[in-house]
Structure 1
Amino acid sequence: MVATTRPVALVTGASSGIGKETARAFATAGFEVIGTGRKTSGLTPPAGVTYLDLDVASDESATAAVAEVIDRFGRIDVLVNNAGMGSAGAVEENSLAQAQSIFNINVFGVIRMTKAVLPHMRAQGSGRVVNISSILGITPQPFMALYVATKHAIEGYSESLDHEVREYGVRVLLVQPAFTKTGFDTNATQPDTPLPLYAERRRRVFDEGIAAGIEKGDDPAVVAKVIVEAATDKKPNLRYTAGPVASRVSKARRLVPARVFDQQIRKLNQLPG
């Protein structure tokens, strides 16, 4: 082990998009940075970033990755749980197996990684776990119910866990992006049991609506900056919105009457009634 005097950040899903920009931002902020991906061989990491293979859907892989980072660097100060997958389709169009697969990465992947680092963070008396939620962690989005459900789960898990570990010097925080210029829409899991009666609505809401939002969305560097802020704030907030759209939606969810908010969701998604 070669212990480092610099703080150490472990960023999952760092081979592209938000994760890659986050790894870059931590390196710029003076961190020793380990970025992970399922297959990182042949990829060029940002300057100051070390890549490590990790499958967050595997108990053994999660445990081994955390152990390797501690063995190599002597500490983990920040874990950013960014790895995840999108999904499209009406609920009736997604099989139970597909739902389990999405939850295994988006929810249980976060739980695996968090459980792996917590004993170390408690022992050193400090640490931050930053979980990448979404503005969809507090709002509905038709034809993306499985993805939305995973982000709602992460919201409840993170807030509850934060209360459990705060006395040990560890904080669990949430960052909520909105539309971001990544490959989210093209990489999203498509329904494995599609039904004709939903096809047109799904096309309008997801294939066109979500894709258009992403095209006009925030640069991943905007989200990365907020993640580093959450990891380094002396008096952190539980939740951080990333970008102006996320901020507006979060405020609307808190302040707008439920019936009005419901109607706005239907209007934005071109749904009748």
Structure 2
Amino acid sequence: MTKDQKKVVLITGAGRGLGYATAVAFRAAGYEVIATARDTSEKQDKAGLNWRLLDVKDASACNGIITDTFAEYGRLDILINNASGYTGGMLFDELSDEEIIVETDITLKAPMLLSKAFMKHGKHQGFGKIIFIGSTAGLTNRGAASKWAAYSATKAAILRFSESLQGDLYAYGMQSHVIIPDNLRETEDMKELSQEAATSYEAVSEALLFLAQFKGNLSISRMDIRPAIIASNDASNKPETL
């Protein structure tokens, strides 16, 4: 299969964690993977990925990466908005103004700008999927002392944005999806995942592949990925929460 025949996926925040695991999974599935990160100095040719420098806080860079992708490949099949800020662990009034702005820029503004650029360049190809990575933090109130206010707000906004965006995408034959993983862990050890009621990067990557390959002009407005509790007679091995 030549480069021109491969489906092309662009993944933000691919330098580590879920983003990297997803990039590797898509590459293994035969996709041409454009893996973006803020620092690609030590990542050239790693795992056969096409690494591109991208600071999603830079609006012009968000537009430029989409423009460059269409110029090089002539297409973009899937945009996975994975890059995310993280301001959990501090009371809201303890966050600096800059931390709040950066959270909003990375988690909400960048996916909006990237999605807009994808629509402008991709609307004539008649296909394309935009997948957003949500969070259970954007679904529920974690309590008065949860210390997740800024992060939760941006993740909640992403869900609503995707749902609303689908109305605009429909005319172009494009779809938007949101996947909402819970309690992510890098490990693939099933015992550890069960004990912590956690979800692995690999499992979420497989769910993302499913959405990417899902046929039909349908929008999965929300796919929750939560761990299944494995029954055990040993109470000490049971996770405390789901």
Change (3 A) 1:144 1:214: farther
Matched pairs, number:
218
Counterpart of 2:185 in 1: which secondary structure? coil
Q: Does the CA contact (< 8 Å) of 1:57 and 1:104 recur in 2? A: yes
- Write the letter of the residue equivalent to 1:28: A
Q: After superposition, what is the alpha-carbon deviation per residue over 1:38-85, rounded to whole angstroms, capped at 9, x for unaligned?
A: 111112555332110001110111112112211221110000000112
Distance of 2:155 and 2:175 partners within structure 1: 19
Q: Whose RCO is larger (CA < 8 A, sep 6+)?
A: 1
Matched, 1:243 2:226: yes
Aligned to 1:174: 178
- Give yes or no for contact 1:3–1:72 (8 Å, CA) kept in 2: no
Query: Is residue 2:205 matched to residue 1:227?
Result: no
Normalized against structure 1, the TM-score is what? 0.74
Mapped partners of 1:27, 1:160: distance in 2: 30
Q: What secondary structure is seen at the aligned counterpart in 2 of 1:158?
A: helix
Measured in 2, the distance between the counterparts of 1:42 and 1:213 equals 34
Amino acid across the alignment from 1:6: K
Residues 11 and 36 of structure 1 are in contact (CA less than 8 Å); yes or no, is this contact kept in structure 2? Answer: yes
Residues 81 and 110 of structure 1 are in contact (CA less than 8 Å); yes or no, is this contact kept in structure 2?
yes
- TM (norm. structure 2) is 0.83
Q: Shift of residue 125 of structure 1? A: 0.7
Q: Partner letter of residue 239 of structure 1?
A: R
Give the CA deviation at 1:242. 2.1
Tell me the amino acid that sits aligned with residue 238 of structure 1: S
CA distance in 1, matches of 2:80, 2:44: 20
Query: 236-245 or 47-56: which moved more?
Result: 236-245
Shift of 1:167: 2.2
Shift of residue 122 of structure 1? Answer: 0.8
Instruction: Please list every run of 5 or more consecutive structure 2 residues that lacks an aligned counterpart in the other structure.
Output: 187-192, 230-239
Gaps of 5+ in 1: 183-211, 247-266, 269-273
Q: Which secondary structure does the structure 2 equivalent of 1:176 belong to?
A: strand
15 and 97 in structure 1: CA distance in 2 versus 1, 3 angstrom threshold? closer
